[in-house]
Structure 1
Amino acid sequence: MAGNILLVGQLSDGIATTFIGFESDRTHISCKYGRRKSWHLFGTVSLALTYPFLYMQCIGCKQNTAEYAQFIYYAPIFLISQIGWASTQINHLALIPELTHDDGERVTLNAIRYTFAVLSSIFVYGVAWGVLGLPSPHSSKNSELSPADAPAFQTMVLIVVGTGILFSSIFHLGLKEGPSRPHSFIEPEDSCRENCESNGQVVSLPDENIPLIQRPKENTQLIQRPKENTPIIQNTAPEITTIACSINHWYDWFKKPMFYQTAMLYSCTRLVVNLSQVYMPMYLTDTLKLHKQYIAVVPLVVYLSGFLAAVLVRPVTSFISQEVVYFFGGLLVLGACIWAYFIPTHSFMVFGMAVFLGMGTSIILVMSLSMTAKLIGKATTTGAFVYGAMSITDKVSNGVVIVIIQNLNPCLRECNKCAGFFRGVMSYVIGAIMILALISLFTTTFTNKIKPSSQIENKQQHKGSDDQQSE
């Protein structure tokens, strides 16, 4: 039933993400507050008002209250909180391409963003460790989780939401987004002119004050020949500027193969990260038979190692491509999956696996976000839609996969199979999804390699036709 509630939330999150991304790109805020921050504020308020109720006993419920009645109570609350989460996440991500057009700076911002996400997770698991691990009136004395630990989770969620409100206030008061024009007010020719000039092409538009029949011959030629010192073969990665020149509306993205490849890469990355977080507690308690405090300690190690990787990833990407860094992070995740399969019960080898998993998931998540920002390029007027489309594939796939796993869970029928089941989830399932992500990475890299040659041929053919017309 918990999986069904999660599926409802994920589906609503995915639908809301697409709608919010579309509307955020079109919204025109006349004041200086900013369209992204306005949507972010809406999501923050929605989360603050609903999230605490998810960790509190439903009003009027008793110990023998039917599960379907509790589902009816919690599902709408989870739905509203997920809509709020979608509004905060998408608009926070969409701010990055608008703040800078430089790929290196975007990687830096994504790394900083993920670093603080890791710090917040460290804070959450630190609070959980203190509430569950240390002697406290809010936690039961049993080594396993039970309904008696409900007050501990209520205490945790109140601390977390209060801290979140504090830092969200700092964000809204400290960051100046500035006024933004809606998509319909932005001239695509201006954006395309800027992108094509940055790609090495010389663009010259005719003088509007001169009648067409009287214009000199050189003014009627929109694209002039390059200068002698201009290299014949340009940069081998013109995908950003090429896409930006051809994106005038949100639906133009569906014509781009790179859009689907990046969506597959992003959704697989999020699946790896989310599944490892969701099933880590069951793996620790049911498979490795560790004390319940380790559901806070081991994820804390995961996020500490992820924090270290997020700090180191920025200087590495200055001399190594994002694709290579992602591949290295994927190998770390696969190593963690293999390690998770061979760890015996009551073993502290789990901390080594946690370090591999934390560093690997941190690297692939930062790189997938950076590659998404690279895909958007300077087409920032549809940036929120792109992040929304990526997120809906992430949310739907997460909800569906978790429901499938929960329906295959044998623990309700045969408890002795729980250990092997969760071991398989942490090793086989997550490992297979990571391999699928690496396959998507290779197809993306292959597309990037064949794009420039085809573009050069088209330019040469276009140049030849222009030469024939001038002759």
Structure 2
Amino acid sequence: MTGGSEEDPFTKPIGRWSVFFYGVGHMLNDITASCWFTYLLLFLTQIGLSPRDAAIVMLSGQVADAFATIFTGELIDRFGHFKIWHAAGSLLVAISFSSVFGGCLPCSILHNDSLTLETFSYSMFAAIFNIGWAATQVSHMAMVNCISLNSTSRVALTSSRNAFTMVANLGLYAIALVVFGVIKAGSKEDTETQYRWIAYSSITIGCCFVVIFLMGTKEPRLRIDLKQTSRARIPWVYWFRKLLYYQVAMVYLLTRLVLNVSQAYLAFFVIDDLQMGQSAKALVPAIIYICSFVVSVLLQEIPWNGRRLKAYYTAGGIIWIFCGAAILLLPRDISSFMYAISVFIGIANALMMVTAISMQSVLVGAEVGGCAFVCGSLSFLDKMSCGLALYVLQSHQTTSPRGQLNNNNQQSVYLSVTRYGLGLVPALCSFVGVAVTFFMELEAAGSLSKPLLREPLLE
């Protein structure tokens, strides 16, 4: 009886309200990140920066984010206090984000509109924003492993977070649709006004959900209440000796590349390559996130084990491979077919993201003393790879050849950098991710899940 009562608080399924309060905790990060990856490059080029300078701004933020995740993960593992780190990071995000999209503040102070000063200003605020973003992300992700040892409940928490990520993205595109419809971008000042309103609205909505999270979620006690051997901080080298660490890191890195690179070039693709209406740069992403939201909610009702994680990830990867091929070959004269492709992209994104993050929980298991380092180190790889990939693609944006793919001399299908970024790169990353997943041994690693497979997901 004693042993059972000691495990009960940690292994039994958690309540739906706990899942809800946890899930909304990343809304500020999600809505700002959606704006970041969807509109930053577009915004910077619209106000006059070259594609390479815009890529430098993006890269500076990604590099700052990458290193911040490492240090944040180590400090959280040492000292704990997840909610303090989350609150501090959210505050920094709220303060700095408006300066990224709100125009060049140093330019206004110094009365200097040089492109060099603009690039420096946007790069500086991008770095500050991403440092706060990293602190919030790592603390929120690491909390999953310290809230419960029930592997199915851990997937429920991840699915809830992913579902509210979709809500955040839909909220952003709803805001953008209204702003782009009300404020017409006839000049640089009008463009800055558009994105300033989007930024202020996003911050306001995100901060409301941060307050709900902080009020509704208790500081996880699992680190303190578990036996000493499970609670002790685990050195970095321990993870580097595990093959599964490298496999999970590769899958997570590739999954984030799929999501972030495709999101960064989606608006460019529908406007420049397909020449769809301005509303399409909000409607097409909205369809993707509606489908992702529905799938994320459905995934919460599934009892999970290692085999199912691999199967669902593989399904998502295969769907993305077909979507990438369709994007590469999609001609401009049937651009409306992009709405159908968006449905499958949304399904694939949810399947891959939920299972990739859940694989981290399988890797951590009961060894919660190193959960923040695992999340931080994997996020470091994610941020660096995404930043470099976008920099390389964007640096070739103006020099990429446009090759025709038909025999009738119709200028409707081009192999542009945008098309590569939205179609080829995600498809290749999905293929490699599926191949790595095939060789994983999640059942052996996820010993926590074995006695819990028949448990309902939530009380």
**Short-chain TM bin:** 0.7 to 0.9
Instruction: Look up the SS of the partner of 2:291 in the other structure.
Output: helix
Q: CA deviation at 1:339?
A: 1.7
CA contact (8 A) 1:52 1:154 kept: yes
CA contact (8 A) 1:259 1:375 kept: yes
Alpha-carbon distance in 2 for matches of 1:316, 1:451: 17
- Within the alignment, does 1:443 sit opposite 2:439 as a pair? yes
Change (3 A) 1:373 1:451: closer
User: Residue in 2 aligned with 1:335?
Assistant: 322
Instruction: Look up the SS of the partner of 2:91 in the other structure.
Output: helix
User: Residue in 1 aligned with 2:63?
Assistant: 11
Alpha-carbon distance in 2 for matches of 1:64, 1:72: 12
Change (3 A) 1:178 1:111: closer
User: Residue in 2 aligned with 1:324?
Assistant: 311
For residue 216 of structure 2, the aligned residue among 174, 187, 194 is: 174
CA contact (8 A) 1:56 1:150 kept: yes
- Within the alignment, does 1:83 sit opposite 2:131 as a pair? yes
Instruction: Look up the SS of the partner of 2:439 in the other structure.
Output: helix
CA contact (8 A) 2:146 2:221 kept: no
Q: Write out per-residue CA displacement over residues 175-199 of structure 1, whole angstroms, 9 at most, x where no aligned residue.
A: 111557689x9721xx39xxxxxxx
CA contact (8 A) 1:14 1:391 kept: yes
Alignment of 1:20-419 (within 5 A): 20-27=72-79, 35-59=81-105, 61=107, 65-132=113-180, 134=181, 136=182, 138-140=183-185, 148-178=190-220, 187-188=228-229, 191=230, 248-318=234-304, 321-346=308-333, 347-410=335-398, 419=414
Change (3 A) 1:146 1:280: farther
Alpha-carbon distance in 1 for matches of 2:311, 2:124: 42
Q: CA deviation at 1:448?
A: 6.1
Alpha-carbon distance in 2 for matches of 1:387, 1:380: 11
Indicate the structure (1 or 2) with the bigger Cα radius of gyration: 1
Identical pairs, percent: 26
User: Residue in 1 aligned with 2:424?
Assistant: 428
Instruction: Count residues with an aligned counterpart.
Output: 383
Q: CA deviation at 1:414?
A: 8.2
User: Residue in 2 aligned with 1:215?
Assistant: none
Q: Write out per-residue CA displacement over residues 131-169 of structure 1, whole angstroms, 9 at most, x where no aligned residue.
A: 11x3x2x2237xxx9764321111111000011111101
Change (3 A) 1:48 1:450: closer
Q: CA deviation at 1:12?
A: 1.0
For residue 317 of structure 2, what is the amino acid of its counterpart? G
Q: Write out per-residue CA displacement over residues 347-406 of structure 1, whole angstroms, 9 at most, x where no aligned residue.
A: 210011101111101110000000111110011111000000110010010011111111
Q: CA deviation at 1:317?
A: 4.8
CA contact (8 A) 1:337 1:427 kept: yes
TM-score (norm 2): 0.78
Alpha-carbon distance in 1 for matches of 2:203, 2:74: 28
Unaligned runs of 5+ in 2: 1-52, 404-410, 448-459
Instruction: Look up the SS of the partner of 1:291 in the other structure.
Output: coil
Change (3 A) 1:385 1:417: farther
For residue 68 of structure 1, what is the amino acid of its counterpart? T
Alpha-carbon distance in 1 for matches of 2:214, 2:140: 11
Alpha-carbon distance in 2 for matches of 1:257, 1:403: 30
Alpha-carbon distance in 2 for matches of 1:150, 1:450: 50
CA contact (8 A) 1:410 1:417 kept: no
Alpha-carbon distance in 1 for matches of 2:223, 2:251: 31
CA contact (8 A) 1:410 1:418 kept: no
Change (3 A) 1:368 1:412: closer
Moved more, 408-417 or 150-159: 408-417
| RMSD of equivalent CA atoms | 2.9
Alpha-carbon distance in 2 for matches of 1:89, 1:433: 23
CA contact (8 A) 1:10 1:396 kept: yes
Alpha-carbon distance in 2 for matches of 1:2, 1:277: 16
Instruction: Look up the SS of the partner of 1:65 in the other structure.
Output: coil
For residue 336 of structure 2, what is the amino acid of its counterpart? F
TM-score (norm 1): 0.76
Q: CA deviation at 1:71?
A: 1.7
CA contact (8 A) 1:8 1:75 kept: yes
Q: CA deviation at 1:451?
A: 12
Change (3 A) 1:286 1:9: same
Q: CA deviation at 1:78?
A: 1.0
Q: CA deviation at 1:108?
A: 0.7
Q: CA deviation at 1:70?
A: 1.0
Change (3 A) 1:147 1:275: farther
Alpha-carbon distance in 2 for matches of 1:306, 1:299: 11
Instruction: Look up the SS of the partner of 1:160 in the other structure.
Output: helix
Q: CA deviation at 1:449?
A: 7.2
Alpha-carbon distance in 1 for matches of 2:220, 2:446: 36
CA contact (8 A) 1:13 1:392 kept: yes
Alpha-carbon distance in 2 for matches of 1:37, 1:383: 15
For residue 250 of structure 2, what is the amino acid of its counterpart? M
For residue 269 of structure 1, what is the amino acid of its counterpart? T
Instruction: Look up the SS of the partner of 2:374 in the other structure.
Output: helix
Instruction: Look up the SS of the partner of 2:301 in the other structure.
Output: helix
Q: CA deviation at 1:413?
A: 9.4
Q: CA deviation at 1:248?
A: 3.8
